[in-house]
């Protein structure tokens, strides 16, 4: 109140003058009259003054003022942050933290309000003030409102703030939560004692849970960070330490001020760690931090990181921009990894590699994840998306370029063939009516998490690869380097990238790519051969079989009978006819030549061939005339068309038969994944045919299994090791007795000696699945033995291998035990999702379990993307319209923004499965086809 009086002396003037005038005119009237008049004026004054104060202190009296800040996707632009000075004091025992922040601001518009983000913080209202540096004036807010639904902090001041430079100071307290977001706690053991570490995970919108800030990617600023903590702990942040002061059991650590960056890239990690260290050729210090005693497991990732930084320096034509790079393995981590500038955090499974107990697949994952996160140091951190609509710019590009790096470091892994797994997943999700465009509108912070999906990552990577293939690798790289140079230290939109590539190539990139990023879905290109012409038609592909209305500019590539005879063109209309007489020589005429569209699967679309073209391609597959990437593409497109009821299951199974003896890892891996889905859908549609299906698939995979054997061969490659595990896993799932018996024999040897060569890491998952196939309520030994292995190992990769095997058991009672075990304290919150993939026999058990435990699950996992995994994994496998209705009814009153899209997608998948079941039930020649294929050697 005193501040208001001091700042508004003119408020009293009318009352003072009026009282003086009346007293003069009254003259010698009695004192009695004078007192009455004085009292009256006093009451009027008090009422007016109170009303004035009420108006000043109650902004909600004008609802339009406060309401305009609510429900908005973006913060108002009154103020622009330039620099943060942050001080944090984590208490790892009490799981709390105290902090203060001084934010340098530019007030750029007339306002009585400062609006910024804050969530789950207790703000010290007495500490909040704004100091205008131009006039050296201090402003204290009249009112402070924390709007929880919108996660904003609204500061209202008595008068309009001066335009210019100032500092906003705020003190606050918070909780080190267990939700794996914001400033949170992770647990680990040291010398047999359970301890906490403090970790940050701010992407997408959780910096606001650590300190009040402008938590939007476009609001870039510099950051000066200081930490107060126990002296024995290691404290890491984005930048190197500039000063460390020890005072008894406490120390204060100050870090260099960061370059300009977004809030979601700020990072702090506090705990006990070992590390290994190396340097790049230009002096960048690189370290891998991990739990004490695990330093050796960080050496492989360290080597990969140093080599990758060197590679990207050349590819982007710009050196890494910070003086150091730290990579830290975190025991509890929701995502796979996070690209914080200069301090990249990882799940242990994505960073650590153990020569004795990690599989080849684990090794490859370390490489691709490290390469992905380090790509972000340029593409995301240095040049940042302007808003979450452009998330795909970060994630799609980093996914694509991680393969570029992996291929350069390990060419023998043939990762560009393995890249096909990315478009496959993207095509699956984008074939749903409930998909979304790559450039998706984001209207609330709660919606952002759901777009960290296969569209942003995998479709994004796929259209980047498609464009690079169209423009040429050299032109693409040159234009990309120019883009990064132009936008370094600032923000960019999708159109900015297209403009750079268009300028560098002279091609109509913007026009071409808008059809792929601004609308959801993709085309299926139907092709038929007629009178030495190829007739192309495009229409939107939907897995439901429904008709879509999209239209694309499609980069078509095709070969006729040989990879030496190829043609490229843009399909810009609904249909187009192409004369191909020039491609058909006397020896390669229309009667014998195979024709492959979308050569090497560089385009993000599906192809549907007429029956004659399919027959020729099947012959080419059997005789290995086609490249592995094209063999992969033909199979994947056929499977998708079958699911959409545009092709019979008999036709798909006949095509799958052509892959007998397939040698290539990526092709065979996809064949296995398709076989799992086909077996499940046949069991739903015609259970009496399931034995024939299993027999066919066992015969399909046996020759590859015999060739690989159970044990590594001298000189065999990385891909052989990965394939062995997948083949044996498939044979176990389909009930191959010899595989089941041998797996159980080797598992018993492993129980007696964890270092036995009889069960190397690459086949452990297959052995665990085989063990669980024989487990039942009356035969629990295998299950209990696996739990013992789980409890005794401290290797995260081994724990996730076991978790992902347990629910493959066909006994629903055991599955219920497994699901309840997932919710126990023995399983880290981040790892529960690995155990949710249940056998077909356990689907109903899993659904009932989800319903019973939904309130608990929603509470524990409800604030992050992991909750969507519960929904999609348990709901999607069903295949009846009745179940879809039941699911809709259950979630009708239980949905929330963070799962809304995933729920719709999952229910749509149930409908797709149900329609597929009906079409299989009506298929005439399926029984005959299956019997013939099952008997074929």
Burial (CB count <10 Å: 0-12, 13-18, 19+), residue 416: middle
Alpha carbons within 13 angstroms on the beta-carbon side of residue 770 total: 27
To 5 degrees, how large is the angle CA 457–CA 463–CA 468?
120
Nearest to 482 by CA among 492, 467, 493, 497: 497
Cβ neighbours, 10 Å, residue 234: 17
For the chain, the residue count is 937
Burial (CB count <10 Å: 0-12, 13-18, 19+), residue 791: exposed
Q: What token pair was written down for 64?
A: 């339009």
Nearest to 335 by CA among 372, 306, 288: 372
CA distances from 60 to 144, 454, 697, 862, 911 (A): 12, 43, 68, 32, 48
Instruction: Tell me: cis bond preceding 888? Omega within 30 of 0 counts.
Output: no
* Segment 750-759 long-range contacts (CB within 8 Å, at least 24 positions apart): 750/789, 751/785, 751/788, 751/789, 754/789, 755/356, 757/711, 758/711
Radius of gyration of the chain (CA): 32
Q: What are phi and psi of 765, to 5 degrees?
A: -60, -45
Q: Which helix (H) or strand (E) holds 429?
A: helix 421-430
**Among all residues, which ones are annotated catalytic?**
373
DSSP labels, 217-270: TT--BEEEEEEEEETTSEEEESS-EEEEEEETTEEEEEEPPP-SB-GGG--EEE
Total H helices, total E strands in the chain: 30, 29
The answer to whether the CB of 840 falls within 8 A of the CB of 812 is no
The answer to whether the CB of 567 falls within 8 A of the CB of 591 is no
CA distances from 792 to 330, 784, 786 (A): 20, 12, 10
Q: Which residues have a Cβ under 8 Å from the Cβ of 245 and sit 6 or more positions away?
A: 251, 252
Q: What token pair was written down for 371?
A: 């390469």
Consult the annotation and say whether 372 binds a ligand. Answer: yes
Question: How far, in Å, CA of 178 to CA of 185, rounded?
Answer: 6
Consult the annotation and say whether 736 binds a ligand. Answer: no
Q: Which residues have a Cβ under 8 Å from the Cβ of 615 and sit 6 or more positions away?
A: none
Q: What token pair was written down for 777?
A: 């309520």
Tell me if residue 346 falls in helix, strand or coil.
strand
Consult the annotation and say whether 279 binds a ligand. Answer: no
Nearest to 662 by CA among 600, 634, 704: 704
Q: Which helix (H) or strand (E) holds 424?
A: helix 421-430
Cβ neighbours, 10 Å, residue 794: 12
Cβ neighbours, 10 Å, residue 485: 14
The answer to whether the CB of 7 falls within 8 A of the CB of 140 is no
Q: Which residues have a Cβ under 8 Å from the Cβ of 886 and sit 6 or more positions away?
A: none
Question: How far, in Å, CA of 191 to CA of 291, rounded?
Answer: 11
Nearest to 797 by CA among 743, 745, 761: 761
Enter the DSSP assignment of 457: I
**Which residues define the annotated binding site for Zn(2+)?**
372, 376, 395
Sequence ranges of the binding site:
372, 376, 395
């Amino acid at each position: 109140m005193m501040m208001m009086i001091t700042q508004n002396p003119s408020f009293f003037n009318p009352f003072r003058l009026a009282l003086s005038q009346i007293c003069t005119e009254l003259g010698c009237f009695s004192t009695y009259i004078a007192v009455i008049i004085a009292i009256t004026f006093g009451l009027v004054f008090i009422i007016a003054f109170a009303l004035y104060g009420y108006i000043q202190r109650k902004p909600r009296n004008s609802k339009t003022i406060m309401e305009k800040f609510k429900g908005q996707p973006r913060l108002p632009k009154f103020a622009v942050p330039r620099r943060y000075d942050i001080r944090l004091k984590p208490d790892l025992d009490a799981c709390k933290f105290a902090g203060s922040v001084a934010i340098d601001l530019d007030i750029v518009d007339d306002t009585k309000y400062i609006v910024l983000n804050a969530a789950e913080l207790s703000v010290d209202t007495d500490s909040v003030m704004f100091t205008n540096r131009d006039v050296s004036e201090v402003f204290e807010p009249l009112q402070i409102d924390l709007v929880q639904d919108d996660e904003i902090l609204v500061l209202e001041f008595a008068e309009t703030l001066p335009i210019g430079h100032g500092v906003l100071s705020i003190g606050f307290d918070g909780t080190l939560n267990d939700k794996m977001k914001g400033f949170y706690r992770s647990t680990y053991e040291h010398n047999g004692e359970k301890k906490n570490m403090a970790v940050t995970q701010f992407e997408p919108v959780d910096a606001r849970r650590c300190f009040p800030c402008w938590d939007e990617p476009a609001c870039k600023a510099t950051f000066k960070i200081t930490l107060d903590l126990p002296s024995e702990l290691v404290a890491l942040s984005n930048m190197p330490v500039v000063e460390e002061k020890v005072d008894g059991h406490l120390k204060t650590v100050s870090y260099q001020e960061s370059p300009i960056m977004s809030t979601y890239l700020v990072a702090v990690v506090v705990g006990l760690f070992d590390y290994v260290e190396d340097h790049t050729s230009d002096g960048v210090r690189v370290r891998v931090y991990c739990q004490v005693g695990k330093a050796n497991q960080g050496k492989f990732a360290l080597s990969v990181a140093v080599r990758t930084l060197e590679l990207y320096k050349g590819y982007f034509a710009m050196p890494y921009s910070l003086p150091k790079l730290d990579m830290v393995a975190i025991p509890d981590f929701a995502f796979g990894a996070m690209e914080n500038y200069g301090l990249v955090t990882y799940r242990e499974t994505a960073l650590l590699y153990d020569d004795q107990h990690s599989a080849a697949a684990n090794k490859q994952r370390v490489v691709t994840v490290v390469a992905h996160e380090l790509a972000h140091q340029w593409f995301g951190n240095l040049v940042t998306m302007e808003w979450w609509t452009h998330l795909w710019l970060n994630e799609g590009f980093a996914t694509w370029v991680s393969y570029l790096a992996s291929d350069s470091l390990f060419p023998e892994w043939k990762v560009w063939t393995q890249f096909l797994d990315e478009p496959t997943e993207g095509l699956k999700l984008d074939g749903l009516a409930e998909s979304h465009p790559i450039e998706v509108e984001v209207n609330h912070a709660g919606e952002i998490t759901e777009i960290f999906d296969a569209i942003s990552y995998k479709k994004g990577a796929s259209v980047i690869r498609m464009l690079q293939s169209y423009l040429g690798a050299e032109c693409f790289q040159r234009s990309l380097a120019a883009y990064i140079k132009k936008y370094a230290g600032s923000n960019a939109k999708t159109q900015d990238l297209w403009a750079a590539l268009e300028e560098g190539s002279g091609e109509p990139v913007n026009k071409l790519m808008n059809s792929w990023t601004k609308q959801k879905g993709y085309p299926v290109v139907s092709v038929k051969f007629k009178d030495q012409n190829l007739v192309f038609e495009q229409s939107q592909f939907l897995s439901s079989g429904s008709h879509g209305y999209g239209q694309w500019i499609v980069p078509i590539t095709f070969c006729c009978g040989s990879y030496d005879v190829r043609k490229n063109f843009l399909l810009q209309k609904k249909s187009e006819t192409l004369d191909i007489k020039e491609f058909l020589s006397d020896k390669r005429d229309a009667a014998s030549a195979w024709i492959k569209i979308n050569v090497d699967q560089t385009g993000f679309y599906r192809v549907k061939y007429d029956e004659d073209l399919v027959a020729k391609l099947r012959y080419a597959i059997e005789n290995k005339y086609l490249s592995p990437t094209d063999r992969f593409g033909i199979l994947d497109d056929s499977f998708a068309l079958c699911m959409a009821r545009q092709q019979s299951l008999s036709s798909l199974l006949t095509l799958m038969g052509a892959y007998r003896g397939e040698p290539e890892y990526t092709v065979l891996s996809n064949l296995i994944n398709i076989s799992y889905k086909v077996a499940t859908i046949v069991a739903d549609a015609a259970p009496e045919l399931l034995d024939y299906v299993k027999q066919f698939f066992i015969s399909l995979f046996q020759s590859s299994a015999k060739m690989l054997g159970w044990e590594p061969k001298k000189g065999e490659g990385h891909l052989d090791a990965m394939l062995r595990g997948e083949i044996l896993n498939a044979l176990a799932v389909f009930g191959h007795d010899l595989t089941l018996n041998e797996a159980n024999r080797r598992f018993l040897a492993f129980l007696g000696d964890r270092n036995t060569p009889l069960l190397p890491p690459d086949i452990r998952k297959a052995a665990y699945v085989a063990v669980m196939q024989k487990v039942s309520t009356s035969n629990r030994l295998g299950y209990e033995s696996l739990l013992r292995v789980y409890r005794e190992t401290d290797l995260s990769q081994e724990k996730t291998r076991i978790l992902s095997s347990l629910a493959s058991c066909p006994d629903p009672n055991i599955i219920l035990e497994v699901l309840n075990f997932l919710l126990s304290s023995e399983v880290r919150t981040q790892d529960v999702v690995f155990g949710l993939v249940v056998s077909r026999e356990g689907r109903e058990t899993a659904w009932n379990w989800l319903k019973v435990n939904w309130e608990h699950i929603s509470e524990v996992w409800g604030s992050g993307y992991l909750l969507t995994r519960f929904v999609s994994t348990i709901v999607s496998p069903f295949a009846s319209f009745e179940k879809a209705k039941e699911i809709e009814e259950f979630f009708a009153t239980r949905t929330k923004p963070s799962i809304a899209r995933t729920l719709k997608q999952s229910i749509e998948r149930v409908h797709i499965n149900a329609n597929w079941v009906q079409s299989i039930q009506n298929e005439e020649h399926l029984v005959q086809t299956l019997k013939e294929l099952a008997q074929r050697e």
